[in-house]
């Protein structure tokens, strides 16, 4: 395992959730599906409580020049989007009666995909 | 309030079958969904003769950029490549010498196309330009030994190929009778694309059918986005209108403006943070996504900028149009993004679902969060759709039913079956004459 992710000091309180700092949709989606509904809800609540501050700070940087130390927080923000359907629609990680998410493969290297 | 003049003038129900009586109203045979023999006829008379979408011009912006399009129902694998003259061509990925694949990788950039078997070398337009030990070949005529060309053409930035080098119909003649009025939609300005692929164990028509009607929405999407579509007083989610051409078909949809997914202007007009946050219609994460997305897109245009065929009924609650370009290409045109899906046949009971969604570029992290929210919802909604397909194929193949039953607003399912059947019939009668 890699070293624990460090967040910028003002967001250090979110470090217990830094396992959601994952750089790809595939990794974020798989992490959602390996988590329980309670774990997902706790993460969403923690992020929502600081949402305005997080967005305000990240919006200070151009997307294509996001400083290294701010990227994990940015990925956590994208993880909040990843868990949104689980929180708001399905009340759990899975899509009920849905197709296997692992068979629906995101093309992470598609040339028109945004890099950040 | 929902009833437009049009709705009042004629009752919505039964409009469709009256407008297209040639499509009939009886049950639809299951055989074309489960028959290997029928699939062979589709290959011969459709997939080896028609134009098929394979991607966007912007995927291969520089000379030498290419990707490989595998088209199993056309028995073809094509290198789609931009030449030094900037023309996009489609070349069969088969070396003229001993027929090895010329490129192995699914996409890349090349100065020349070099076969790895014996080093034969081709220009970006397919001309043979290099043959090791050429003097040992008897009478080798390089001009006759280029890569075999298929047809390629571009419409609104979409690349189409046709494995017939001399198609019976140009791409423009094929598309414009139904889609000329879509020209000018800002496809090229939606530059953030997300793509997912999967091979589904079902017939290609069955997969496409699941996306060309809205009757299923209340049930399949009951937990997610069902409330995003406008309902009439009986709870039915009828489309605004349907149009059927000789090949293609269109469906126009009305949304529920109180929802994130049913209101294209949600990020700019729904004040979710104060009015609806935490309600059933706008969840807490949706609300912050709307807030973060407000004004964050690099592309802004109003409905007035859209070409005339978009929302052709000019319904105030319009949310998107479904455009099915025959045979297997689905494009949704929405005011702020579009989807592009191919239902690429592999076998009578196997289909590659190649799905893309194109959004505008966002200015900042807040905008990207909004886009990621929209994208993750869409992806999960697609999982809901895909969840039914293999079960239906199994249901078809176990054989208790020889027909399926369609209602008026499943007209597009009927239209596709009708066009496929007509082309097979015409093709077979041509064969018998010849």
pLDDT digits (tens, 9 = 90+) for B273-323: 444 444 546 799 999 999 999 888 887 767 668 899 999 999 999 999 999
Question: Quick count: other Cβ atoms within 10 Å of Cβ B320?
Answer: 23
pLDDT value of position A33: 98
What is the model's pTM?
0.94
How does pLDDT run across A39-89, given as a tens digit for each residue?
999 999 999 999 999 999 999 999 999 999 999 999 999 999 999 999 999
pLDDT value of position B264: 75
How does pLDDT run across B41-57, given as a tens digit for each residue?
999 999 999 999 999 99
B375, A85: Cβ pair inside 8 Å? Answer: no
pLDDT value of position A20: 98
pLDDT value of position B4: 43
Q: Residue A55 is inside which H or E element, if any?
A: helix A51-58
Measured between beta carbons, which residues in chain A are less than 8 angstroms from residue B292? 51, 55
Q: Is the pLDDT of residue B233 over 80?
A: yes
pLDDT value of position A42: 98
Q: Report whether A44 contacts A87 (CB < 8 A).
A: yes
pLDDT value of position B267: 65
Q: Please, which pLDDT band fits residue B14 given cuts at 50, 70 and 90?
A: low
pLDDT value of position A4: 80
* Beta-carbon pairs below 8 A across chains A and B: 132
Q: Is the pLDDT of residue B401 over 90?
A: yes
Q: Please, which pLDDT band fits residue B258 given cuts at 50, 70 and 90?
A: confident
Q: What is the mean pLDDT of chain B?
A: 92
Q: Please, which pLDDT band fits residue B10 given cuts at 50, 70 and 90?
A: low
Q: What value does the mean pLDDT take over residues B210-236?
A: 93
Q: Please, which pLDDT band fits residue B2 given cuts at 50, 70 and 90?
A: very low
Measured between beta carbons, which residues in chain B are less than 8 angstroms from residue A87? 283-285
pLDDT value of position B30: 98
Scan for tokens 């239902």, then name that residue.
B343
pLDDT value of position A2: 61
| Distance separating alpha carbons of residues A53 and A74, to the nearest angstrom | 12
Q: What value does the mean pLDDT take over residues B199-206?
A: 98
Which residues of chain B approach chain A closer than 8 Å at the C-beta?
56, 58-59, 107, 191-198, 200, 223-224, 283-286, 288-289, 292, 358, 361-366, 368-369, 372-373, 375-377, 379-380, 382-387, 389
A55, B59: Cβ pair inside 8 Å? Answer: no
Q: Write down the ipTM of this complex.
A: 0.98
| Distance separating alpha carbons of residues B369 and B364, to the nearest angstrom | 9
pLDDT value of position B269: 56
| Distance separating alpha carbons of residues B362 and B193, to the nearest angstrom | 12
Q: Is the pLDDT of residue B224 over 90?
A: yes
Q: Is the pLDDT of residue B6 over 70?
A: no
Q: Report whether B138 contacts B64 (CB < 8 A).
A: no
Q: What value does the mean pLDDT take over residues B147-173?
A: 98
pLDDT value of position B273: 43
A114, B364: Cβ pair inside 8 Å? Answer: no
Which residues of chain A approach chain B closer than 8 Å at the C-beta?
25, 44, 48, 51, 55, 58-59, 61-63, 66, 74, 77-78, 80-85, 87-90, 95-99, 101, 103-107, 110-114, 116
| Distance separating alpha carbons of residues A111 and B363, to the nearest angstrom | 19
How does pLDDT run across B53-78, given as a tens digit for each residue?
999 999 999 999 999 999 999 999 99
Percent of chain B with pLDDT over 90: 82
| Distance separating alpha carbons of residues B198 and B343, to the nearest angstrom | 10
B193, A113: Cβ pair inside 8 Å? Answer: yes
- In degrees to the nearest 10, what's the CA dihedral of B79, B82, B84, B89? 60
A78, B368: Cβ pair inside 8 Å? Answer: yes
**For testing the chain B interface, which of A11, A59, A76 should be mutated: the one with the most B CBs within 10 Å?**
A59
Q: Please, which pLDDT band fits residue B151 given cuts at 50, 70 and 90?
A: very high
pLDDT value of position A31: 98
How does pLDDT run across B94-124, given as a tens digit for each residue?
999 999 999 999 999 999 999 999 999 999 9
């Amino acid at each position: 395992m890699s070293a624990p992710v460090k967040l910028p000091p003002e967001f250090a309180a979110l470090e217990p959730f830094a396992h959601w700092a994952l750089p790809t949709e595939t990794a974020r989606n798989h992490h959602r599906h390996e988590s329980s509904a309670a774990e997902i809800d706790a993460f969403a609540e923690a992020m929502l409580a600081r949402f305005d501050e997080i967005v305000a700070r990240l919006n200070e940087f151009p997307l294509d020049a996001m400083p290294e130390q701010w990227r994990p927080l940015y990925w956590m923000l994208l993880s909040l989007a990843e868990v949104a359907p689980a929180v708001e629609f399905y009340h759990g990680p899975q899509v009920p009666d849905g197709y296997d998410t692992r068979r629906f493969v995101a093309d992470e290297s598609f040339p028109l995909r945004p890099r950040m | 309030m929902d009833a437009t003049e049009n709705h009042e003038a004629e009752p919505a129900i039964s409009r469709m079958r009256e407008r297209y009586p040639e499509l009939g109203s009886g049950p639809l045979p299951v055989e074309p969904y489960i028959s290997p023999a029928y699939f062979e006829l589709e290959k011969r008379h459709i997939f080896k003769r028609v134009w098929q979408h394979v991607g966007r011009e912007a995927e291969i912006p520089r000379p030498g950029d290419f990707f490989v399009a595998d088209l199993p129902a056309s028995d073809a694998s094509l290198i789609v490549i931009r030449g030094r003259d900037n023309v996009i061509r489609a070349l069969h990925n088969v070396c003229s010498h001993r027929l090895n694949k010329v490129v192995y990788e699914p996409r890349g950039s090349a100065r020349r196309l070099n076969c790895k078997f014996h080093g034969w070398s081709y220009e970006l337009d397919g001309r043979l330009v290099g043959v090791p030990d050429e003097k040992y070949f008897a009478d080798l005529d390089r001009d006759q030994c280029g890569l075999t060309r298929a047809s390629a053409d571009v419409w609104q930035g979409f690349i189409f190929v046709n494995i017939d080098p001399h198609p019976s119909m140009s791409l423009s003649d094929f598309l414009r009778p139904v889609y000329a009025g879509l020209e000018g939609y800002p496809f090229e300005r939606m530059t953030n694309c997300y793509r997912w692929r999967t091979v589904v164990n079902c017939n290609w028509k069955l997969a496409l059918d699941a996306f060309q009607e809205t009757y299923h929405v209340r049930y399949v999407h009951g937990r997610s986005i069902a409330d995003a579509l406008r309902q009439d007083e009986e709870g039915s989610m009828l489309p605004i209108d349907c149009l059927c051409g000789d090949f293609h078909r269109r469906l126009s949809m009305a949304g529920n403006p109180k929802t994130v997914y049913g209101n294209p202007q949600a990020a700019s007009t729904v004040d979710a943070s104060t009015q609806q946050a935490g309600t059933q219609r706008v969840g807490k994460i949706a609300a912050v996504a709307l807030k973060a997305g407000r004004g964050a897109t690099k592309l802004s245009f109003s409905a007035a900028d859209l070409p005339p065929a978009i929302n052709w009924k000019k319904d105030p609650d319009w949310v998107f149009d479904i455009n099915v370009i025959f045979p297997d290409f689905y494009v949704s045109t929405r005011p702020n993004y579009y989807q592009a899906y191919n239902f690429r046949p592999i076998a009578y009971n196997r289909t590659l679902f190649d799905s893309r969604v194109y959004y505008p570029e966002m200015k900042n992290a807040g905008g990207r969060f909004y886009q990621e929210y929209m994208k993750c919802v869409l992806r999960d909604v697609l999982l809901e759709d895909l969840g039914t397909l293999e079960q239906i194929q199994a249901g078809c193949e176990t054989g208790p039913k020889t027909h399926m039953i369609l209602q008026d607003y499943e007209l597009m399912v009927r239209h596709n079956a009708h066009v496929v059947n007509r082309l097979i019939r015409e093709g077979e009668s041509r064969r018998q004459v010849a």
